[in-house]
Amino acid sequence: MEKLGIDITKPTIIIGGNQSVEHYAEDLKRLHATKKYQFISQQSGFSHFSNCLGFYPDYHMFFDPASIPSNLEELLNEKKIKTKIIIPDIYLNRSYEELIKTVVSAVLKTKEIWEKQKQRFINIKNKIIIPINLALGFTNKKLHKKLPNWGLPRQFEDKEIVNENTIDIYHTRAKKAKGPGHKCKLSLFILPFIIFMNFKNSYVMGFDMLGDYGQSVKKHIGHKGGLPKKLRLEYIYNFRFYIPPLVKMIKNKNMNLYCLVEDKYTPLNNYLEYKNIKELN
């Protein structure tokens, strides 16, 4: 069974950019060789495939429009890789003026830079366009006592976060609304995407929330002296208030979602069910 040309019944492994992926390279190669799984890279997760896995993902997706590989055209046109690029429709049909109100990205610094990036998206032939609805993600109707005057995400005042027709992205420019920016790509984009697609069995790796913006395994969000206090609280906020309701919705829809990363590399298993990758075949 397919949706937007993607097999939603095939077990799906979604790879993020964190370094924990490197610990499981051999297992990922083994699973790829079975041809039973499809692989999706998210933003900087693409580099794991090109640097240490030895194969390219079936799909590459992003929310930040700056995060497609710099040599993507070469890979698609000259090396003829078969990776399909999943592009949010807002980057094709929204004006620059609309985008800068809600999206923060290096390619949105000026209209000239954006038009060049947009043309790159237009030129990609092997692409899948997914419907996105952008909304500010914070309201001040409810306040959490342990966090500094940040309202609960507006999306959780509603019964449904993701509908069948669009992927609702609750993102905010911190300067435009009270509350932290939604930096956790797992809850911002990946989990809503999984729900929208209705994947029967999906696995995530490389969304570990460790270190500065999750790039280093040497610092933990809970360690004193690790991240700056404000950034550490933002991550904790994203974890506590975004991930649990999304995971609950996935369970309610009889979908299976697992984290393939061990506890020692991520606090994510406090919210997602852990699956030992060596048990997969």
Higher pLDDT, 254 or 244: 254
pLDDT, tens only, 123-142: 999 999 999 887 654 433 34
pLDDT, tens only, 27-49: 999 999 999 999 999 998 999 99
pLDDT recorded at residue 78: 80
Higher pLDDT, 7 or 227: 7
Domain span at residue 134?
A: 2-279
Name the residue among 79, 25, 27 with its Cα closest to residue 47: 25
Name the residue among 264, 259, 263, 254 with its Cα closest to residue 274: 259
Contact 197, 3 (CB under 8 A): yes
Query: Whole-angstrom Cα distance, residue 21 to residue 25?
Result: 7
* Amino acid in position 244: P
- Structural domain total, the chain: 1
With cut-offs at 50, 70 and 90, classify the pLDDT of residue 256: very high
> What number of other Cβ atoms are within 10 A of residue 112's Cβ?
8
pTM for the structure as a whole: 0.83
Query: Whole-angstrom Cα distance, residue 171 to residue 134?
Result: 7
Q: What is the DSSP letter of 274?
A: E
* Average pLDDT, rounded, for the chain: 79
pLDDT recorded at residue 101: 77
For residue 20, the number of C-alpha atoms closer than 13 Å in the C-beta half-sphere is 26
Q: Which residues pair with 61 in a beta bridge?
A: 42, 86
pLDDT recorded at residue 7: 96
Helices (H), 36-187: 46-48, 72-77, 90-93, 96-99, 111-123, 185
With cut-offs at 50, 70 and 90, classify the pLDDT of residue 200: very high
Name the residue among 65, 62, 13, 17 with its Cα closest to residue 40: 13
